[in-house]
Amino acid sequence: MWQEARNLSKQIISIAKHTELKTDYRLKEQIKSASGSVMDNIAEGFERNGNMEFRQFLSIAKGSAGETRSQIYRLYDNEYINKEKLDFLVSEYEKLSGKINNFIAYLNKNDFKGTKFQ
């Protein structure tokens, strides 16, 4: 999941560098921050060594993926990306959100609490 989030964040950064988004400072920073937040929260939750905290950070990551999807539509509406790129990125973020959700469900069923709570 983290690798996928990283790859998607890199694609957002590329759009920010190579399109007219580079001059739309507020939207550029918002979408870069939201896309980076997905991977950052997955990593931070994993490092916490606690199942409950991991689920919380995964939930935040899932929320950031939704925020990024919304901002991708803004990229399209402002003509920074075409319909093909819109559809691709929205689909990839939906898949990532589904994987995060499935992992949260798995952790909810797992009794392992992590080393923090042993």
Report the CATH number that the domain containing residue 39 is assigned in CATH. 1.20.1440.60
Q: How many domains does the chain have?
A: 1
Q: What is the pLDDT of residue 50?
A: 77
The position carrying tokens 């990532």 is 96
Within a domain: 57: yes
The token pair that represents 78 in the structure block: 């402002």
Residue 59 backbone phi and psi in degrees, to 5: -65, -40
Within a domain: 68: yes
The token pair that represents 58 in the structure block: 């995964």
* Alpha helices per DSSP H over the chain: 2-18, 25-47, 51-77, 83-109
Taking alpha carbons only, the member of 63, 67, 61 closest to residue 45 is: 61
Within a domain: 28: yes
Does the structure show a pLDDT above 70 at 118? no
Q: What angle do CA 72, 77, 83 make, to 5 degrees?
A: 70
Task: Give dist(CA 90, CA 83) in Å, integer.
Answer: 10
Per the CB < 8 A criterion, the answer to whether 38 and 5 are in contact is: yes
Q: What's the full length of the chain, in residues?
A: 118
Within a domain: 116: no
pLDDT tens sequence across 78-114: 999 999 999 999 999 999 999 999 999 998 887 656 5
Which domain does 100 fall in, by range?
2-110
Q: What is the pLDDT of residue 114?
A: 56
pLDDT tens sequence across 7-53: 999 999 999 999 999 999 999 999 999 999 999 999 999 998 778 88
The model scores a pTM over 0.85: yes
